[in-house]
Structure 1
């Protein structure tokens, strides 16, 4: 007489279920150390970083600012200017100063400064002139807009950092 039949011969479905259970338990044993590390990793993560607006990201040096000025009913005109951003200078005075004749007598107010952008409103002797903003996508490049409904103008700004300033006349 033969000995007892192997379990897979008695009930093949039970044998497959046992294989799945042992495979799942092997997977569980491999993942257990990783699961134990998860709370520690979460505790060590600093969360969202909050940068101080004083850590402004515009690089000091020579910048070329290109303006595309669109006035209602006229073809767009282009203008380029150069500016020298000193290390430690107020970014609002440096980067938000748009050199256009119609803005000579206007003043900025309601300014907001973040680590990667500037926003402001303009007032002119004849009333509220508009608003502006620039956003740095790197320390060496920014884009912005100036909306001047009082003058019927929309201005797009784009600036690139080129080099260090070489002297006081820059």
Structure 2
């Protein structure tokens, strides 16, 4: 194949990929229409509108909860997470919202052993929680686990878990 044929072929392939991506985007956009809202159909005559009949129309006035209405027992039940106070700095168990040197050491340990690419900030954020859940199967880190993996020691003295 000559250089000209390669350029023409790659241009045609890129154009087809672009058209496919555009068709996919437009199809997804039409499927995600809000129930009860009007939208233009893709195959009918221009200017015609169709109502999506999947669900009743959204009434903005009805969205506010009635303050007099009683809550069901399921709604009244308070979960354990709602009752727990905000974590204090560097106190076990380390969990979402914890801050301090121990959290920083945990993040370094995750980076060294599991390739964590987040920022070592010393703050237990959502990314730290997700990585901890994935590898240690827990959203919090207790003192026993912290000591087991020697996270308080310098990096070169820590146990490698792999």
Whether these two folds match at TM > 0.5 is no
After TM superposition, the score normalised by the length of structure 2 is: 0.20
Q: Which has the higher helix share?
A: 2
Q: Given the two structures, how large is their TM-score scaled by the length of structure 1? A: 0.19
Relative to its length, the structure with more strand (as a share) is 1
- The structure, 1 or 2, with the larger RCO (C-alpha pairs under 8 Å, 6+ apart) is 1
Higher gyration radius (CA): 1
